[in-house]
Structure 1
C-alpha cells in the first residue's frame, strides 16, 4: 500500500484562464483513436468510463457514446465548467463531472471498464493513482494514456522551432510550468511505462495512430495560450507585442501563414490481467 503523508496540492495557476481556449485550440483526438480504443477494449455502448484529468472533456465527450455512463474528473473548476458547456452543446447527458484530484478516487465511484487519461498523467501522483485505479477496474478493464504527439518542444519542424524561439525570447530559456509562470518544467522521470511496469497492472502495450493536423497563425497562438509554458497571463499587457513577434517569426518560415503537420497519436494501454 502506498503511504503518503499528504496528497499533492493542485496548483490552480497551472492552466489559469486557459479552459475556453483549451477546448477550442488544443489538438483534438481524431476519431480513429476512439475507434482503436473500441477495438482494443471491445466497447459496445455498455459499461462505464472513468476519464481522469478530463480538462474540457476532449476525451470524455466524444467517447461517451461507447458507454452507458461516464465519470469525468479534473481538479480545475474552470476546466470542469468549460467541459459542462461543451457537453451541453452536443447533448452529452450521460457524464458526471467531478471537481477533484485523480489521487482522491476511491470505491465510492463504483467499477469501470476503462479509464482514460489524456496529456495529464505527468501532473499526477502516478503510483498512487495506479494503485487506487487498479481496484476500480473490472477484471477485463484497463487504462489508456492518450497523447496527440504535437509537443513543440520536441519537434524538428522549422515553424514550431520558430514559435518556441519566440516564447523563449519573452519568457526565458527554461520551460515554465505552474506557480503563475514562476515554476519550471521537470522531466517526467521515470517514464510512464516504468511506473506502470512497477504497478499491479499485468501488461502494457503501445499503439500509434497517424493523422494530419492543420494550423493557422491565429489557431497556433490560441494553442500556445493554453499551454502551461505559455499562458496568456504570463505576458500581461505585453501580449500584443508577443503576438506581433510570433506572427513575424511564423510568416518568415511560411509566408502563407498556414501550417500542416503529420502527427502520431499514441495510446499506452495497461491491462489489469
Structure 2
C-alpha cells in the first residue's frame, strides 16, 4: 500500500488547499456509491478469479470501498487522485477493510496514470474494471479513455458514473439554495480557484463513441436521499461551488442565511433529494459482456 516514488504532480497551491480542507468532509458528507451500482459493477467482474480495479479520481476511496464489499475476491486496487490529502483519506478508509486485497495509491492526474512494471517473475496485472465516479467532468476525457485503452485488460469494462450535485439538482429547496449562493458569489457556477465552471464541450457518451470503448450500455438508478440542514452545510463546504474560501470573510454570514433557508424548507427536519445515479458501462467491441 504505497504512493509511487519520485516527484508528485503538483496542483496550484490554492487548489491543493481546497482539497486539503475538504478531505475529511468528503468522507463524512459526500453520498457514497449506491448498492445497486456496486452490484452492477460486481456483475462486470463476474467470473474473474482475481479481478483488478483501477479507480480514477478516487477521492476518499468510495468506489473501492463499495467494490470490496460487493466483490469478495477483489485482488488489487489502483486508486488514482491528484490530491495527496484525498489519497491519505482513502488510505485511512480502505486499510481496515482490505483483507487480502492489495492497494496502491497513485498521486497523478488520471490521463497520466501508468502501471508499475511487474517484478521479475510476476505477471502484469491489467485492470479488469476502470471506474470514474463524479469526477470525469474535471478530467481530459479523451486522454483518460485513451490511457484506459492502453492499460486495461482486453475484455475490461470502463464505468463512468455520477448523479450530479446539489447545484445541478432542481427542486424547491435546491433552487432556493442555488439562488442564495449566487447572491453571494455571482451568477456563474464557481469552480474553486479556477474561476467559473465551464460545461464540457461534449457529453460523456460522445467521448466514449469517439474512443475505443464504443460498446455502451446506460443504467439509471433512482435514488431518494434525505438530508438534514447540517448535512447540507457540511456537503457545501466540500464543493468547488460553495467551499468556504470562495466566500472569504462572508462565509459565516452565508452559512447563517443558508441554515435559515434550509430549516424553512425542511419537513420534520429533513430535506429530500430525488435523483438518478447513472452508470455508463463501456467495453471495446467484441469484449466480454
TM-score by length of 2: 0.84
Aligned CA distance change for structure 1 residues 39 and 46 (closer, same or farther; 3 Å): same
Match in the other structure for 2:66: 62
Matched, 1:223 2:235: yes
Aligned CA distance change for structure 1 residues 69 and 107 (closer, same or farther; 3 Å): closer
**1:250/1:257 contact within 8 Å kept:** no
Match in the other structure for 1:3: none
Match in the other structure for 1:4: none
Alignment of 1:72-91 (within 5 A): 72-91=79-98
Distance across 2 between alignment mates of 1:107 and 1:97:
11
Match of residue 198, structure 1, among 210, 215, 219: 210
Q: Larger relative CO (CA 8 A, sep 6+): 1 or 2?
A: 1
Q: Which moved more, 1:70-79 or 1:196-205?
A: 196-205
Match in the other structure for 2:36: 32
Task: Kindly state the Cα deviation for residue 253 of structure 1 after the two structures are TM-superposed.
Answer: 2.1
TM-score by length of 1: 0.89
Matched, 1:246 2:258: yes
Task: Kindly state the Cα deviation for residue 252 of structure 1 after the two structures are TM-superposed.
Answer: 2.3
Task: Kindly state the Cα deviation for residue 64 of structure 1 after the two structures are TM-superposed.
Answer: 2.7
Secondary structure at 1:241 match in 2: helix
Task: Kindly state the Cα deviation for residue 91 of structure 1 after the two structures are TM-superposed.
Answer: 5.0
RMSD value over aligned CA atoms? 2.1
Task: Kindly state the Cα deviation for residue 44 of structure 1 after the two structures are TM-superposed.
Answer: 5.6
Higher strand share: 1
Secondary structure at 1:56 match in 2: coil
What stretches of structure 1 of length at least 5 have no aligned partner? 1-7
Distance across 2 between alignment mates of 1:70 and 1:107:
11
May I ask how many residue pairs the two structures share in their alignment? 263
Aligned CA distance change for structure 1 residues 89 and 240 (closer, same or farther; 3 Å): farther
Alignment of 1:65-214 (within 5 A): 65=69, 66=71, 67-91=74-98, 94-108=102-116, 110-147=125-162, 149-179=163-193, 183-214=195-226
